[in-house]
Structure 1
């Protein structure tokens, strides 16, 4: 029956995946080549793409243990490691909140280059433009439904395509004119094999990890028509190949244009002409429209975390314990004599939990959380004025958790499991995949464990390199 459900085609799924992955982080990738060298930077981008791709495949595999269309990070956590649901919310919050701060910093960096006020200092204009953005951002963030913002993805795609073409164009012109179009003070040497050092490499590693992060993989899988593992793997291979090619080509073009004079955001390196002004303005419009799209899940995750800790502090966790007991009693994982009906009851409950209705958010709390998070976002943007620094921190925390750690936990729990009830869950939810060797692969289970260890190591080393220079 699932095969007859209409959904997204593989081509549209590839487009959505690539569009979701490629964002403003691409502006810092050429700078990563400055710290890593061309050789090591190439290896890191390829390896990060491979690791992220494996994480996406593990997410697709995990979705097969739930009814179609109900798999999210939260619902998969409920059937693997229920206590990790808070970790998931924390990862989503870090990802979205940090990216929003980077959006505001980017707005403050670019708009003064689009329109300059005579007699104003650079800092004053940055503060003014960041504050001025509240006129559009705050009303959009206070909307409880954001369906009308679906066109932000169109603006985002147009902005990224334009910026890529701009970077390629400047590089081609530089080659053809023997770099006469680049000011002498912006021309630096090229490092082919020697990185700047271990700490600089790990500082930019977080940026590369974040650039590949795809937080909507479960949604893409849910919307896919006939979502077999073969299709999911093919979409992941094609999407990551396209993304890696774009990342590498932009990194080569940007770095070979300016060399070691690059300082973070490459858009700040280009002169003030019509083409670069248009790119900056388009990118600012993109981040302003994208801000509420990231703000909404950040608010929901923050509310979930607040709810869990408030319940524990007030000693009112009996309801949650009863809920877990009821799940355990009815789940086929514990030997029910009627596995099908029990499984359907559990699935229905997971669907309900997946939509978040188990965590209330009153109107009063909605506005309080909105005010607190908006104030924190704008305060962070004014205090942290380095675009690449923010992306490094976000990538080393939320990006690592979403890309490596959580998918690794899912795969290690579900793949090649000796638990009969886990196999029964797969057979009940996805009978067409029951004989797929992917779900019994010891190699994939080891890869899952590797992603967990790799992710935790990257997180701690990157954070150490960033915070203790």
Structure 2
């Protein structure tokens, strides 16, 4: 941490609430957003309950009921604690004189914690790579499942499709889905995506109905494997990274915080708890239904001969596909922080209308401030916060096109995503929240700062363990 950085902590920031309180986090009304608690829960739940939730039952199968429950609960608790720490860190942003109006982000909090330098860029790069990799995996899932859904529905209605039918072509459905999500990808805020997130979240509810309803109405599967309290074999350790990465949603915590209306720690805790608690239900019931034979995609275990299940599979496509913009937004924001200087240079050479504005604020930028990609609601009070529209368009199109090309030509991203998840997910879920809070609140009384430090150290061990495990699997 730079020596010239000021000391932060509860003693120097009296407006930060203590752990036992949940008052309004930011008394300045200009920093309140317009998103409701329902919208925030929807977006964060949609981020968590993506493809990762489908694999939770397999974690129980690999560990057994008791260790699986404890492990999933522990992974959820550490993720919840990391999100809580980030929401507390967000209260510091904009509290310094002259820094009013700034929005909370990993980049801004990293600047407050470590000062300007390479660390901020490294964090943004990790977030961008992680979110981009996950978004590409969503596209691959969509192009893989949609032909299966079409084939199942056609057979149910006794109109089988020809083998060369375009409806069975994965590339066709990839193009169709890109047409659907491209307009959504140009939305500037998470709250703008609340309606698509609500549609996607309905599919989660439907998935819960399928999983829970099937178990209580039709009982366990006739081909169910063993349901044991404890299990230890070669697959036990491999299930732990799945649980860790399934809960990753920290990349959208700050946008949700910025947009939340009447911010309070209680509301943020509600968003976090409701979002994470849902996934464990799918894991337990799925394991009870299929036992040790459950696969990494729970919805694929149910008979594909019924319209009830076919709709469930289509719902998974909707869930994953409509989650794509939720990964693109933080990816775009991180790339903005990494490339904003390049676009400023282009504006200087072009001598456009924003040239004088940028020139006048070069000194501010040298202090570590990043120009926001989209305007804040109080942009009129801070004219230097006007966006560079060319950068917004270029970054969005770049992410869309590159993601499409990769998804078009690649069918499996397991190896790449395993390494990306091992680094990116652990960094933004455990390492950064822990160290951010420890440094920013080190003067705060109580033990929370030490728990935060422990979380950061735990994240480093998890990252090393997962990387080692991935390398072993790659060698095999």
TM-score range, shorter-chain basis? Answer: 0.7 to 0.9
Cα deviation, residue 155, structure 1: 0.8
Cα deviation, residue 404, structure 1: 0.9
* 2:179 is the counterpart of 1:135: yes
Match of 1:424 in 2: none
* 2:466 is the counterpart of 1:462: yes
Q: 1:307 to 1:238 in 2, by over 3 A?
A: closer
Q: 1:309 to 1:16 in 2, by over 3 A?
A: closer
Asked if structure 2 preserves the Cα contact closer than 8 Å seen for 1:188 and 1:259, the reply is yes
Match of 1:440 in 2: 445
Q: Distance in 2 between matches of 1:170 and 1:466?
A: 35
2:229 counterpart (171, 192, 212): 192
Match of 1:163 in 2: 207
1:91 counterpart (110, 122, 126): 126
1:404 counterpart (393, 409, 430): 430
Q: 1:303 to 1:15 in 2, by over 3 A?
A: closer
Q: What's the secondary structure of 1:215's corresponding residue?
A: helix
Tell which deviates more after alignment, 117-126 or 288-297.
117-126
Q: 1:295 to 1:358 in 2, by over 3 A?
A: same
Tell which deviates more after alignment, 7-16 or 239-248.
7-16
Q: Deviations over 1:71-93 (max 9, x none)?
A: 22221112111333213322321
Q: Deviations over 1:434-466 (max 9, x none)?
A: xxxxx333x222222212211122122213323
Match of 2:244 in 1: 208
Q: What's the secondary structure of 1:80's corresponding residue?
A: helix
Q: Distance in 1 between matches of 2:54 and 2:201?
A: 14
Q: Deviations over 1:101-130 (max 9, x none)?
A: 221122133212211242259997334433
Q: Distance in 2 between matches of 1:246 and 1:127?
A: 33
1:112 counterpart (142, 147, 162): 147
* 2:147 is the counterpart of 1:103: no
Q: Distance in 1 between matches of 2:39 and 2:190?
A: 22
Q: Distance in 2 between matches of 1:12 and 1:322?
A: 38
Asked if structure 1 preserves the Cα contact closer than 8 Å seen for 2:87 and 2:268, the reply is no
Asked if structure 1 preserves the Cα contact closer than 8 Å seen for 2:187 and 2:193, the reply is no
Match of 2:170 in 1: 126
Q: What's the secondary structure of 2:92's corresponding residue?
A: coil
Q: What's the secondary structure of 2:247's corresponding residue?
A: helix
Please report the TM-score for the alignment, with normalisation by the length of structure 2.
0.72
Asked if structure 1 preserves the Cα contact closer than 8 Å seen for 2:83 and 2:433, the reply is yes
Tell which deviates more after alignment, 213-222 or 85-94.
213-222
Q: Distance in 1 between matches of 2:396 and 2:374?
A: 21
Q: 1:378 to 1:27 in 2, by over 3 A?
A: farther
Q: What's the secondary structure of 1:115's corresponding residue?
A: helix
* 2:87 is the counterpart of 1:60: yes
Please report the TM-score for the alignment, with normalisation by the length of structure 1.
0.73
Asked if structure 1 preserves the Cα contact closer than 8 Å seen for 2:177 and 2:321, the reply is yes
Q: Which has the higher helix share?
A: 1
Asked if structure 2 preserves the Cα contact closer than 8 Å seen for 1:111 and 1:284, the reply is yes
Asked if structure 1 preserves the Cα contact closer than 8 Å seen for 2:72 and 2:243, the reply is no
Q: Distance in 2 between matches of 1:158 and 1:287?
A: 12
Q: Distance in 1 between matches of 2:85 and 2:43?
A: 18
Q: Distance in 2 between matches of 1:353 and 1:145?
A: 11
Cα deviation, residue 134, structure 1: 2.9
Match of 1:452 in 2: 456
Q: 1:350 to 1:139 in 2, by over 3 A?
A: closer
* 2:60 is the counterpart of 1:33: yes
Match of 1:46 in 2: 73
Q: 1:235 to 1:74 in 2, by over 3 A?
A: same
Q: Distance in 1 between matches of 2:332 and 2:143?
A: 23
The within-5 A match list for 1:276-355 is 276-306=309-339, 323=364
Q: 1:141 to 1:13 in 2, by over 3 A?
A: closer
Q: Distance in 2 between matches of 1:192 and 1:75?
A: 45
Please, which runs of 5 or more residues in structure 1 have no aligned partner?
312-318, 328-348, 418-438
Match of 2:13 in 1: none
Q: 1:456 to 1:285 in 2, by over 3 A?
A: same
Cα deviation, residue 213, structure 1: 2.5
Q: Distance in 2 between matches of 1:217 and 1:109?
A: 30
Q: What's the secondary structure of 2:323's corresponding residue?
A: helix
Q: Distance in 2 between matches of 1:364 and 1:61?
A: 30
Asked if structure 1 preserves the Cα contact closer than 8 Å seen for 2:166 and 2:172, the reply is no
Q: 1:321 to 1:15 in 2, by over 3 A?
A: closer
The within-5 A match list for 1:233-244 is 234-235=266-267, 237-244=269-276
Q: What's the secondary structure of 2:94's corresponding residue?
A: coil
1:153 counterpart (171, 192, 197): 197
Q: What's the secondary structure of 1:133's corresponding residue?
A: helix
Q: Deviations over 1:316-356 (max 9, x none)?
A: xxx999657757xxxxxxxxxxxxxxxxxxxxx67869969
Please, which runs of 5 or more residues in structure 2 have no aligned partner?
1-23, 96-100, 152-160, 345-359, 377-383
Asked if structure 1 preserves the Cα contact closer than 8 Å seen for 2:79 and 2:247, the reply is no
Cα deviation, residue 284, structure 1: 1.9
